[in-house]
Amino acid sequence: MWVPEALATAIGSLPHREPKPALDLIEQNLDLIPHWPQLPLRGPQEGFVRQYLYPLLQTGLLEWEGEKIRFATGADDWPDRLAAFYALYLAVEEGDDDALQQFAIPPEAASGFYAFLERTAAGMGKARYLKGQVVGPLTAAFQLTDAAGRPAYYDEQLRDVVVKSLALQGRWQGEALRRPGLKTVIFVDEPGVSIYGQSTYITVTREMIREDLDAVVDGIHAAGALAGIHSCAAVDWSILMETRAEVLSLDAYDYFDSLLPFRAELAEFLARGRVVAWGIVPTSERAAEESVESLVERLERYWAQLCDRGITREQLCRQALVTPSCGTGTLSVELAERIYNLTAGVSEALRAG
């Protein structure tokens, strides 16, 4: 059972163009659970989805045409490319470390990750955990298409490729971040889960979503790491709480009310020793209007509504992480700094009692 007791971390992206100032900000505010910084302003290669697609590009399954990325299903040798991918996947499953390295994010697509590895190798001071992140399978598979332009998610074969690739990326990250004496936690960032229940996505079932997420979670677990699932919208939280992930991460600032219909599921989730990452610090201009005191008061008010349903405030705080509501990659550096300062402050206030 993981008991983080309101420690602070963040979702992933920052608006810096170089890794060092981003890492400095993280270390100054999130020293107990630092994360590697995604730096999307460095270029499209470090975009939220694209940086995780390079293994599929390198294995020849994806092709880029300008800004469009699609599966090369029209290639004459597509069956051979597909067979080669599955052979690589099976090699990893059989313990081939060299095969696992084929699912690494290349340095040019994740400068913050490799700078983070260098810094952690030199020592991370007070750090108790290291945090990574990978895009969710639903989000990625709806960003990709086959050669005819049909979303990859609707093709069972292509969806399986996406899921397996991301599972192995989560496993690779867990292995790469492993440090003696420190536990690793990797979040699966899955904003795409918000499509569930919409009439235009009627064929996307909760079983499909849960099974795909669990496959990625299992990949993370295979590296001995903990897994979280993050979504920054109003979603059916019961789906995420039914997965094998240890952490549920939500935008509590804007979407706390969406959690209320799932109070019974939340009570059971916490009873199983799971953790909620409360995204109580807004990742918008509203952060300039908030203070540590106002955000603590807001979170305590939210928790009070849950305590009426048999969940104790002590349990909520003990099994809590404190985070921003989402990433800060599209904001100004100054606003990102304030958001990280507030996150650290809220965590400190909660832990002080």
Whichever domain contains 341, its CATH number is: 3.20.20
Cβ neighbours for 99, distance < 8 A, ≥ 6 positions apart: 88, 91, 92
Asked if residue 215 belongs to a domain, the reply is yes
Give me the count of residues in the chain. Answer: 353
Asked if residue 1 belongs to a domain, the reply is no
In the chain, where does DSSP find H-type helix? 19-29, 54-58, 78-93, 97-100, 111-121, 137-143, 156-177, 206-222, 237-241, 252-255, 263-271, 292-307, 313-318, 333-352
Distance CA 200, CA 115 (A): 41
Nearest in space to 233 (alpha carbons), one of 258, 214, 198, 212? 258
Classified as helix, coil or strand, 113 is helix
Distance CA 83, CA 79 (A): 6
User: Residue 150 is part of which domain span?
Assistant: 7-352
Higher-pLDDT residue of 259, 48: 259
Instruction: Tell me how many domains the chain contains.
Output: 1
Mean pLDDT score of the chain: 94
Asked if residue 305 belongs to a domain, the reply is yes
Give the DSSP per-residue string, 183-242. Answer: EEEEEEE-GGGGGTT-GGGTT--HHHHHHHHHHHHHHHHHTT-EEEEEE-S---HHHHHT
Asked if residue 2 belongs to a domain, the reply is no
Distance CA 305, CA 274 (A): 19
Asked if residue 153 belongs to a domain, the reply is yes
Strands 247-250 and 226-231: parallel
Residue 62 has pLDDT above 90, yes or no: yes
Asked if residue 242 belongs to a domain, the reply is yes
State pLDDT tens for residues 195-252. Answer: 887 777 778 899 999 999 999 999 999 999 999 999 988 899 999 999 999 999 999 9
DSSP class of residue 256? G
Q: Letter for the amino acid at 305?
A: Q
Asked if residue 136 belongs to a domain, the reply is yes
Residue 121 has pLDDT above 90, yes or no: no
Residue 275 has pLDDT above 80, yes or no: yes
| Residue 124 banded pLDDT, cuts 50, 70, 90 | confident
Give the pair of three-digit tokens for residue 170: 């989560």
Asked if residue 261 belongs to a domain, the reply is yes
Distance CA 147, CA 130 (A): 39
Amino acid 197: pLDDT: 73
Distance CA 303, CA 83 (A): 50
